[in-house]
Structure 1
Amino acid sequence: MDENKQEIEQEKEQEQETEKEKPSTFKKGVFAGIIGTLVVLAAVLVGGWFILGRFYDTGFMGIKDIAKAKVISGLIDKYYYKDVSDTAKKNGIYKGLMEAMDDPYTKYMTASEYKEELEDTSGEYVGIGVSVLREEDSKDVIVQQVFDGSSAQKAGIVKGDKLISADGAFADNLTLTEFTKKIRGKAGTSVTIVYSHNGERHTVKLKRAAVENPSVYGKMLDESYGIGYIEITEFNSKTQEEFEETLSDLKKKGMKAVIYDLRANPGGLVDSVTKILDDILPKGTTVYMMDKYGKKTTYTSDDKKQEKLPTVVLISGNTASAAEIFSGAVRDFKYGTLIGTKTFGKGIVQQEFTLGDGSALKMTVETYYTPSGECIHKKGIEPDIKLKYKYSGDTASVTDMDSYDFSKDNQVQKGISVLKGKLVN
């Protein structure tokens, strides 16, 4: 049985026009994938199907309503200019029912859509080995990251390249989610990608394969002061393990203070972010959630693994959901300094209910609150030091994190300055 998930989710397509302050292409844009799936693992399976008697008892649908649906289905079959399968019509009914809530985070997913949803939080997926974003102004789909050993890397695709089409489907004509679905597929199959590098078009046929997407990157920025840097790009099922390994490695290298970079973090699993907060924070409540009945769910940290490191957290308009839980806890515990611009403001929780045929519902079920009791939904979290992102280096030369010049990143440099002050004092 699939584990069910509660999620603080940002928009799946991320076609929200939020500020991209530290993208891989270092331009304004939005990410492919979810903008903030905050997932609380909760095994909930809706067994079987609607029992007709109960279905009628709700007052939702009666015999006349079902008869009406059949009439509409018949009219579609007879007059619509294309053939529509019964499966498509039924899925349309289910999706329409969820759309009645007028909530972009509440939806019905077919079995295949739900499978993709699970991939998003697993840290692995089948594809060509890139993550992408969509720019606000041009709407171009830009490569954000190329994973080591992937078919995209072997073909010469690098960060900053523009993806134009996948198997003849043009990115301009599709939502970001629709386009990334064209890129993904079964392992071993191929997809033809047209992309642009420095204005020159290239066409390559790439084989899809399982790709592991690391969510944590770390390095020492200033060895003389012992200042380390840890970027967390999302909170998936493998992030805590990656985080603990990275933290341990940097401490062995002499890290005495740390910058956590959440500027490109759209969210993730509740379980993941709260365990990481438990790794670093002193004893206390890290986040709590409340449903419409007043039922409260609280997550706490103990002081068994508290990291007493001077801390800076970099945030932006794309810091959302689970990343805002992290930022809010750091702020309310007075554990570190937030630098950047106001976060996205996603403070509601979704839960997924798997159905008998592998399909699933996702519904907003709770609101979450920071340790101080603040609801940040549609408000965001303000930084302690407001500073808009600026990169003064040559963006064209940046192909991965190792080629990124942190000395040209004004927010990172401000963070280093703040930490030096804390270390001296």
Structure 2
Amino acid sequence: MRASWLLASILICWAFAAQAASKTDKEPVGDDVTKLIKEFIERDFYKPVDFPSFAGKHPTNADIDKALADLHASHTHRFMPGTVDYYEVAGIYGPWKSIYQSVFPPDGEAKYDGIAFNTAIIDGKRFVTDVYDGAAAQKAGILVGDELLAVDGKPFDEIGSFKGKAGKVVAVTVRRAANAQPMNIPVTVTSIQPVRMYFDALRASGRIVENSGYEIGYLRLWTLASRQTNDAVEAMLRDGILSGAQGLILDLRGRWGGFSSELPTMLLEDFSDISITMRDGQSFPWQTAWRKPIVVLVDEGTRSNSEVLACAIKRRGFTLIGKKTAGAVLGGRAYLLPDNSLLMLAAGTVRVDDEVLEGKGVMPDEIVETLVPYAMGDDPQLHAAIGEMTRQLSGVSPWRRFLPPERRRCAMETSTTSN
């Protein structure tokens, strides 16, 4: 039995979930769908639970969402068509192409038209939260913190604003400062295959930052969802753009986790004893080359296997900076339902040296807050990481701290805060 699906982090971004629910929450769900959901939960959910039977009760999407939320587990959600998350979940589970052919004709590959950025509603306004390296939005000059007002003069829809426009230029209207006049930014829409987009963004993110005479490597891992990602990271660290770096800033802030059986061993001299145990008692162990300082960036978007990696690095005495991670660390499994929605279920408990991170998350060594609205692309957490790495390379700060056993728990509170 292969375990390649076990740590794919599929916890939905809250902003997207809210948008999807507003459109579909009152729509009824068929008995064929509710019957399968109950069957999958009773058979595969990571622990025995009593899930309600909706047979003959004509539940709505909101009823199903509430029942799933009442399970109080990460990696447990139903994704509806028409959202970026739906395409990304489907894309991460690429081996389903034969099943997806009717959903994503003609080849079963999950793709959507877009400009490769993420947004969220903050205080009633929509702001850009992420811009992927090397992709359309970044090339056009869109910045994290831009208030998104319209696309081609119409209200923004994460799929609808760009659907059918691949290769065409759209006008994205943003406000860069609170009292600034709106500005139109022309952006060329592209056809996005999610895993490929993340892989390209990973490669484009790798760079050397020079500070106080030191060459500091930077790499952002949006997801750990494919072997291709692991191979690219290894190539950059061993003989690529990051091979000459004196230290590495590993940015694990992001959207998804994913499964990786190799990446942690590349980045750590010795690795935590990590295993995942299924409901039926089956256990899957993980199986070490970078011997320079590491500073890791984490935030509330760091989840699943990215949290496992962050915890393993923290336990080895390396420094974490940012905010507490999501605490979404269960093994996830996906199912395509008859209405073409995607059901994600938590299917296994994950432990890092017998510590369970689900519902707790990983605390950074230094908390650094960041404000998205009108940030103009500024990144205080990255600035803090560069400063810390510089101190480590200059000998002011140790780059690896000895931690007694009682200090090695990843969910432990921290006492250092930066604004």
- Please tell me whether the aligned partners of residues 65 and 77 of structure 2 are also in contact (alpha carbons under 8 angstroms): yes
Map of 1:363 onto structure 2: 345
Name the CA distance, whole Å, in 1 between partners of 2:147 and 2:392: 36
Give the TM-score normalised by the residue count of structure 1: 0.63
Name the CA distance, whole Å, in 1 between partners of 2:186 and 2:242: 43
Map of 2:266 onto structure 1: 279
Q: Deviations over 1:5-25 (max 9, x none)?
A: 344536413349xxxxxxxxx
- Please tell me whether the aligned partners of residues 330 and 349 of structure 2 are also in contact (alpha carbons under 8 angstroms): yes
Give the deviation of 1:420 after TM superposition: 3.1
Name the CA distance, whole Å, in 2 between partners of 1:331 and 1:348: 19
Secondary structure at the aligned position of 2:14 is classed as coil
- Please tell me whether the aligned partners of residues 166 and 191 of structure 2 are also in contact (alpha carbons under 8 angstroms): no
Name the CA distance, whole Å, in 2 between partners of 1:102 and 1:15: 19
Choose which of 185, 189, 196 in structure 2 pairs with 1:208: 189
Map of 2:357 onto structure 1: 376
Choose which of 335, 338, 341 in structure 1 pairs with 2:320: 338
Map of 2:223 onto structure 1: 234
Gaps of 5+ in 1: 17-29, 34-48, 74-88, 172-178
Q: Deviations over 1:63-109 (max 9, x none)?
A: xx86x45xx69xxxxxxxxxxxxxxx8x7897687567465642344
Give the deviation of 1:309 after TM superposition: 1.7
State the identity %: 17
Choose which of 185, 203, 219 in structure 1 pairs with 2:163: 185
Choose which of 194, 198, 221 in structure 1 pairs with 2:210: 221
Name the CA distance, whole Å, in 2 between partners of 1:285 and 1:379: 18
- Please tell me whether the aligned partners of residues 10 and 257 of structure 2 are also in contact (alpha carbons under 8 angstroms): no
In structure 2, relative to structure 1, the CA distance for the partners of 1:249 and 1:138 (3 Å cut) is farther
Choose which of 125, 128, 131 in structure 2 pairs with 1:142: 128
Map of 1:176 onto structure 2: none
Give the deviation of 1:240 after TM superposition: 2.0
Name the CA distance, whole Å, in 2 between partners of 1:249 and 1:223: 23
Name the CA distance, whole Å, in 2 between partners of 1:424 and 1:348: 29
1:163 matches 2:148: yes
Question: CA RMSD of the aligned region, Å?
Answer: 4.8
Map of 1:328 onto structure 2: 311
1:129 matches 2:109: no
- Please tell me whether the aligned partners of residues 8 and 347 of structure 1 are also in contact (alpha carbons under 8 angstroms): no
In structure 2, relative to structure 1, the CA distance for the partners of 1:339 and 1:105 (3 Å cut) is closer
- Please tell me whether the aligned partners of residues 144 and 159 of structure 1 are also in contact (alpha carbons under 8 angstroms): yes
The one-letter code sitting in structure 2 at the alignment partner of 1:196 is R
Give runs of aligned pairs for residues 259-274 of structure 1, distance below 5 A: 259-262=249-252, 264-271=253-260, 274=261
Give the deviation of 1:218 after TM superposition: 2.8
Name the CA distance, whole Å, in 1 between partners of 2:52 and 2:310: 45
1:294 matches 2:281: yes
1:244 matches 2:234: yes
In structure 2, relative to structure 1, the CA distance for the partners of 1:363 and 1:124 (3 Å cut) is closer
Give the deviation of 1:164 after TM superposition: 1.7
Give runs of aligned pairs for residues 57-68 of structure 1, distance below 5 A: 68=56
Map of 1:117 onto structure 2: 89
Between the two proteins, the alignment pairs up a number of residues equal to 343
Give the TM-score normalised by the residue count of structure 2: 0.63
Map of 1:25 onto structure 2: none
Name the CA distance, whole Å, in 1 between partners of 2:167 and 2:247: 46
Map of 1:416 onto structure 2: 390
Q: Deviations over 1:40-74 (max 9, x none)?
A: xxxxxxxxx989xx99xx99999xx86x45xx69x
Name the CA distance, whole Å, in 2 between partners of 1:205 and 1:284: 46
Secondary structure at the aligned position of 2:262 is classed as helix
In structure 2, relative to structure 1, the CA distance for the partners of 1:183 and 1:369 (3 Å cut) is farther
Q: Deviations over 1:134-166 (max 9, x none)?
A: 264454322532654637745x54443221234
- Please tell me whether the aligned partners of residues 115 and 188 of structure 2 are also in contact (alpha carbons under 8 angstroms): no
Secondary structure at the aligned position of 2:297 is classed as strand
In structure 2, relative to structure 1, the CA distance for the partners of 1:132 and 1:356 (3 Å cut) is closer
**Larger radius of gyration, structure 1 or 2?**
1
Give the deviation of 1:415 after TM superposition: 2.8
The one-letter code sitting in structure 2 at the alignment partner of 1:270 is F
- Please tell me whether the aligned partners of residues 131 and 138 of structure 2 are also in contact (alpha carbons under 8 angstroms): no
Name the CA distance, whole Å, in 2 between partners of 1:14 and 1:291: 27
Secondary structure at the aligned position of 2:217 is classed as strand
In structure 2, relative to structure 1, the CA distance for the partners of 1:307 and 1:105 (3 Å cut) is closer
Name the CA distance, whole Å, in 1 between partners of 2:138 and 2:241: 30
Map of 1:256 onto structure 2: 246
Q: Deviations over 1:337-375 (max 9, x none)?
A: 3334433322222211345786542111122111x2111
Gaps of 5+ in 2: 21-33, 44-49, 95-108, 402-419
Give the deviation of 1:251 after TM superposition: 4.8
